[in-house]
Structure 1
Amino acid sequence: MVLDGRAFRTRDGQPAADTVIAGFLRRTPERLFFEPRTADGTPVEPHPALQVKTLLRSGYRLSHQFKASWGPVTVRDLVAQVQRDHRPALAASPEGAWALDALSLAHKPGDTFLDGTGTRVHVDAVMREALATLEAAQAELAEGMRAGRPEVPKRKQGIYAHPCGGLHYFQAVAGWARHARVRKAWRERLDTQVDVLLYRLDSEGRQYEAALASMPAAYRLPLLVQMLKFQGHLLETLGRYRDDTGWRPTPAQQRTVERARTALETTVRRLNAAGAFDGLPAIAAQQPQLALDLVGDTCHAAHGEALWRAPPLSAPSAPAPRR
């Protein structure tokens, strides 16, 4: 669904979203939730609110009705559960990216909602805190960029403590700028964060290449998958930011994007040469998490490449409230 959205279907021809809801959504008297894993152990929702965010990004409106195992449920019902699950620490949590994205996609500036404790939450305040969190998480990289250092070492610090290098968090925060008044207020701050993101291409790329040259062959495949994750998510994040906000890269920024595309192509060729794609069943049997990463990150990479292969969308206006 990351790649194909609502068009993605299961082998029996059903919309994938229908299958996810019918097969894995559960309820108790207190809440709605997704079954943690499928029968074969595949994670269904490894990050909080991942499924709701995916439905919203795929274009399902709040009023869209699905058939759960017990009866009808709407996207609005699922968003309401995300709202009830909200806690003040969410905006600063690495695992909060998908919930922040869902709240951003379901709301407009000025909106409020009640969380599970009955506290009224202002969406603008949540997103402002999230932007400050992103800036703090990328502060060391920003300093390295301003100082002209060729790289900032990755030590699981700051943004590197986030899943997928914080790129989903960037998407969630920057996506709020799809609204004109947010773009106006945040423009300079987001411009800086985009520059940091572009700086990361070479900063991290040098470290990956050095590791590839020195590590034993047994570790080569996991590292190549990590490279796929970073390069694909980077392109996806920049493409989504462009389409969400109307950002247009400068010629220098566009050249960096093209270098990211070339780097991704090289990584895919390396993975293919290493037998990653043809050997996926064997990888799944021996290293199931690596196989899941390979499939998921390939989808993100394909999506990122497709965003930059296609003509950019027209500059956005603030979307109408979803009914």
Structure 2
Amino acid sequence: METLLLQNPRSGHLNYMEPGNETQPSEFLLLGFSEDPALQPLIFGLFLSMYLVTVAGNLLIILAILSDNHLHTPMYFFLSNLSSYDICLTSTIVPKMLVNIQTQSKAISYAGCITQMYFFLLFVEMENFLLAVMAYDRFVAICHPLHYTVIMNPRLCVHLVLVCWVISILHALLQSLMVLRLSFCTHLEIPHFFCELNHVARLACSSSFLNDVVMYFFVILLGGGPLAGILYSYSKIVSSIRAISSAQGKYKAFSTCASHLSVVSLFYCTGLGVYISSSATHNSHSSARASVMYTVVTPMLNPFIYSLRNTDVKRALTRLFGGKL
């Protein structure tokens, strides 16, 4: 019978395991960005700062929208949801990483890893679908302005968000269950700072072919579908803006889309960049650093994009702080 030779990353000793004895591990090890102890305080301070800015910035956007009656419109309803997903996405990843750095431990339990993977997939998909819904909202506002209030009624807005939730929950649940069917050996190292689906599946002792098929199928379906919807919406928006005769009218129409376009570009370009860099390099730390862009940096920048480019949000923030801004 063939015997597997495994190295325990903690002790450095070689362990022998029969193929039939694969079990679910008690924990995984998150390797993070660097194993250099001297860099850990810098990484801790940097990510703690980004996390606090992300939470504070997105909370301010939510509070500004809730406190200003002028912002109780579909566009800002979706924006407040986006801000809440940004907070949840970073809270799924960053606190655990900070705790590990502070305690000088790389361990994450098997159950904790699957749970983190589930919620990460859930909130990434929610952002993905919500960006498509926001593009549809801008399409209706610019291409069908006279019917906007009728089409984008509160009932439809709530239903669109609920559909996003249902699809995202089902997809995250499916992918997590697919990982649960895999068998792992002991003391496995994940070359990342969180339990990313692809990296976890690669560590399985059993065949992950079906997992790969399901994963890439849904990447194309659930990633390409919303992106195609966004591109279609903006193709119609551009055609409508070009038909506007006055330059001021064109600028006003485009300004309502500028913030959303910036967020869409940042989200999809950074996400695509991660997978390109993962394919182009075998350096695991390089892949982890690339992932920071869409998991941490993008949620941190979204509040600044919407507050700096949107006069309504700036006005609401000014009122929220009593005119002190």
Normalization by structure 1: what TM-score? Answer: 0.34
Q: Greater helix share, 1 or 2?
A: 2
Bigger radius of gyration among the two? 2
Normalization by structure 2: what TM-score? Answer: 0.34
Q: Quick one: higher RCO (CA 8 Å, sep 6+), 1 or 2? A: 2
